[in-house]
Amino acid sequence: MFNLKKIKPSTYLMPQEAGMLVPGLVFGNEEIINDPSFEEPLKQVRNVAFLKGIQGHSIAMPDIHWGYGFPIGGVAAMDAETGVISPGGVGYDINCGVRLAVVKLPFAELNPAKKMELLKAIFRNVPSGVGQGSKDKQLSDSDYKSLIHLGAQWSIEQGYGLEVDLDHCESRGVIEGADLQAVSLEARKRGAKQLGSIGSGNHFVEIGAVQTIYLPEIAQAWGVNEGMTYVLIHSGSRGFGHQICQDTLNHFVKLGFAQGLPDKQLVAAPIQSDPGRTYFRAMASAANYAFNNRQQILHEVRQAFKQILKVPEEEIRLIYDVCHNIAKFETHAVNGVMKKLCVHRKGATRAFGAGSNELVPLYRTTGQPVIVPGDMGRASHLMVGLGNPLSWCSACHGAGRAKSRVQCLKYWRGRNPLLHMKEEGITVMAHSTQTIAEEMPDAYKNVDEVVQAVQDAGLAKMVARLKPELVVKG
């Protein structure tokens, strides 16, 4: 339908049609591109190209699938002066992201009993499930003001983590410009008890072994060795961010910002308008909440390792924390001229390359870690960004769904997904068997194929393959 034209390895151009302000750009190998499920999200790639101020291309990653307005796996950069900002281009779970830590302890040396104890301790320590949060902690307005201003630094000052963690977070764990006055009372209520919790759906804490090293020099620089234990955390801004997104969508539609767009879910306000600025301040607040959320989850995981395996907190080293639902102001070259852009990444990861001034010295030397969770049965990946200007220095964020949740539930009805995972060597704990059925490995594309396409397209390179064995789901 879209007559995609291959212009480079795993890189396809979508021709510019009437109403599109820029062409589309699609990353993926032939098998991914030709999958029938790719057709519907490609319509969203086309629709995003209608947004005012969009620069370069409307971009799709290999893990693309249908989302609200924007496809999940979409990237769009808007001129910071003349462009728009779209809540659908960030998503409901603002700053949903992943955090990877490693432990020197060889995973294979842990006996099964200790592994089970560790999994149970994490399941106790970290609240998970729909609407779940802490029974003991509740954020006051004073807490909110501090945490959205400081980002992850706030949790560290409260005793949740190490100062060095900040050097291993995207933007050092804070998005500037957050303002609690831009956030509704309902959003504050929803997030008040949810800090330090996973949530539901595809969010998780995963533990396993670093299975394969592809780039030894990069891995060595980062302190990642074959066989060592890893911890992968996937969560976002919980009900706090969800409510901020919904409040903004309602407000933008009421103001008439959806008029003239091919899909009202793309509703967007001028970045330099009062509504646009207010959304950015609220979005930054949710982003900083999410940085704190993952910081506190890591703290509780560290406590579990300390309690069960006697591993000191400082020996559970954070490699990196990355956002994959965010809009950020960045400077990029547009037709040879450096320009300030608002880069929307929805289901996409920042992938700055070596030499970027945005990175701390270690990663400025190597390039930025790019963390790609796959599914709980096969693998996840650690990559290094190459700073490709075609994608506004972006890469994929995961495997991408291959089946809807409804399809998954239908397939697994009458079967035992927990037992199936156990037979595959994966132990899963969750509050809901429905969540497990919705998140079985067959729900996702093969992450190995996705990251290979990303590498072939020159967006990022594979550093290590991670094999899960212990999983906490919502």
- What's the token pair of residue 281? 């301040």
Q: Which helix (H) or strand (E) holds 466?
A: strand 460-473
Residue 341 has pLDDT above 80, yes or no: yes
Percent of the chain with pLDDT over 70: 98
| Segment 346-373 mean pLDDT | 97
User: Could you tell me if 286 and 237 are in contact, meaning their C-beta atoms sit under 8 angstroms apart?
Assistant: yes
As a whole number of angstroms, the distance between CA 346 and CA 100 comes to: 20
DSSP 317-385: EEEEEEESEEEEEEEEEETTEEEEEEEEEESEEE---TT-TTS-HHHHHH--EEEE---SSS-EEEEEE
Pairing outcome for strands 204-213 and 460-473: antiparallel
Cβ of 369: how many Cβ atoms within 10 Å?
26
pLDDT band at 293; cut points 50, 70, 90: very high
Residue 132 has pLDDT above 70, yes or no: no
pLDDT band at 135; cut points 50, 70, 90: low
- AA identity, residue 5: K
User: Could you tell me if 225 and 213 are in contact, meaning their C-beta atoms sit under 8 angstroms apart?
Assistant: yes
| Segment 154-176 mean pLDDT | 97
Average pLDDT, the chain: 95
pLDDT band at 128; cut points 50, 70, 90: confident
As a whole number of angstroms, the distance between CA 14 and CA 104 comes to: 46
Positions marked active-site: 397
As a whole number of angstroms, the distance between CA 214 and CA 226 comes to: 10
| Segment 52-79 mean pLDDT | 97
Q: For residue 310, what are the β-bridge partners? A: none
Residue 130 has pLDDT above 80, yes or no: no
As a whole number of angstroms, the distance between CA 446 and CA 467 comes to: 13
For residue 158, give every residue at least 6 positions away whose Cβ sits within 8 Å of its Cβ, in sequence order, or none.
Answer: none
Topology of domain 5-473, CATH: tRNA-splicing ligase RtcB (3.90.1860)
User: Could you tell me if 256 and 122 are in contact, meaning their C-beta atoms sit under 8 angstroms apart?
Assistant: no
> Of 124, 211, 175, 221, which is closest to residue 329 (Cα–Cα)?
175
Token look-up 């699938």 returns 65
Sign of CA dihedral 80, 458, 444, 439: negative
> Of 426, 410, 415, 423, which is closest to residue 374 (Cα–Cα)?
426
Residue 129 has pLDDT above 80, yes or no: no
DSSP 220-273: HHHT--TTEEEEEEEE--HHHHHHHHHHHHHHHHHTTTTTT-S-GGG--EETTS
